[in-house]
Structure 1
Amino acid sequence: MSTAIATGRTLRPLRHLPWRSTAAGNIALFAPGGAIAIGLSIIDGRPMAAAAVAAVVLAATAFIVIPALRIRTRLDADGITTFWTRRRFLHVDRDQVSRAVVRTIYNGDGISTNRHLFLLDDEDRAIFRMSSRWWTDEQLLTVAHHFSVPLDSQPHPVHLAEVRRTAPDQLRWSERHRVLAVGGTIAGGFLICLAFAWLVTAAI
């Protein structure tokens, strides 16, 4: 695909996935309990507690839904721009990218895989990355070809440990330090659950 054809095109993630049902399922985990707590707080004459629970529920809902609606990648003449919200964006200039690599990497279960596009600079560090978990293979290749740089496609699946050994600078911090990242995620999730449980209990 030539640069001229790709320029001006906007790519949107998740459109090939049943993300709406997944988002609804995640929201259903906490929304009913929050709704009950809000109702009881209002009945008991505690509007501040009800407002606090409502704010948490709305924030969690927005965190789940808004990215799916807002995220998009625009292919421009001078590179690409990925938008998360109206004000948060990442721009990659055409001259920043020296080559592109597409790898198939095993997920944490060691069975399923996802394709990953890495846009690399002169020092082989990743300055942009896309995954087939959110984007289609066609979209990954469209972005890669947009920069008109050498593309190295590695179709055989590899484990994350192999990429960590051979190209650590192309991975995120959480992928380079798996134990710390998993421990922090578990601890953070546990604290969030405790805080929400305390808030709901206080409202009741």
Structure 2
Amino acid sequence: MEGQHELRQEMVVTQQKVVLRPHPHLFTRGIIAVLALTTPVFAVLYWLTIPDGGWPLVLGIHIAVIVATTLAVLAFFSTVIQLGPDGVRERGFFGRTVEVRPGAVGTVQLIDLYEGSTLDTQPQLFVTGTDGRVLIRMRGQFWAVEDMERVAEELDVPITRRTESMTLTELRRSSPELLYWFERFPHVGR
């Protein structure tokens, strides 16, 4: 009886999913930025339009900004990566869902990319399929390095680590297939 209880408990543990979320400070910074940008602008617009009667238009635009901000907040909180016994499931900011089974992974690469024209680097994890197509991309601006390591462990594929940091231009030349379409063209992403 006790052995059966241990087996049942082990089955429950192996079927649990681990949920990874983006850095929480991004939410705080985003809300502060929206408030810092919109509050003074709308205060001035209301001050200028209330005497003339044009304030309903300003109110409509203000409501539209609030709705857009609310949608962005909901999108942020629904952005997750779930690790489970059946693989990795990512739900991105724009709602796109990708499911990656361990057998479908070709490579997992961890690359430190320079940020713009600085000496600061950010890690980026690229999970590619057996066909070379990028399945999941985790950027250090949004995800912790520990989360990237957990995703790689879950997929049970060895991580290829570049020993030297790279610029976006170097990555564009060596592995353009890892980048988003707009990053492949140097003048479009600017």
Say whether residues 1:14 and 2:23 are aligned partners.
yes
- The residue aligned with 2:99 is 92
Superposition pairs for residues 98-137 of structure 1, below 5 Å? 98-137=106-145
User: Cα deviation per residue 1:63-83 (whole Å; 9 max; x = unaligned)?
Assistant: 654443332211132222223
Say whether residues 1:79 and 2:87 are aligned partners.
yes
CA–CA distance in 1 between the matches of 2:141 and 2:152?
Answer: 17
In the TM superposition, residue 154 of structure 1 has moved relative to its aligned partner by 1.8
- The residue aligned with 1:173 is 181
TM-score calculated relative to the size of structure 2: 0.78
Could you tell me whether the CA contact under 8 Å between 1:103 and 1:115 is conserved in 2? yes
TM-score calculated relative to the size of structure 1: 0.74
Q: How many residues were matched structurally?
A: 177
In the TM superposition, residue 40 of structure 1 has moved relative to its aligned partner by 4.9
- Structure ID, larger Rg: 2
Say whether residues 1:148 and 2:140 are aligned partners.
no
Could you tell me whether the CA contact under 8 Å between 1:14 and 1:68 is conserved in 2? no
RMSD: 2.7
CA–CA distance in 1 between the matches of 2:57 and 2:66?
Answer: 14
Structure 1 residues without counterparts, runs of 5 or longer: 183-204
User: Relative to structure 1, is the Cα distance of residues 108 and 101 closer, same or farther in structure 2, using a 3 angstrom cutoff?
Assistant: same
CA–CA distance in 1 between the matches of 2:110 and 2:83?
Answer: 18
Structure 2 residues without counterparts, runs of 5 or longer: 1-12
In the TM superposition, residue 22 of structure 1 has moved relative to its aligned partner by 5.0
User: Cα deviation per residue 1:107-163 (whole Å; 9 max; x = unaligned)?
Assistant: 112321100000011232212100111111100010111111132122421111111
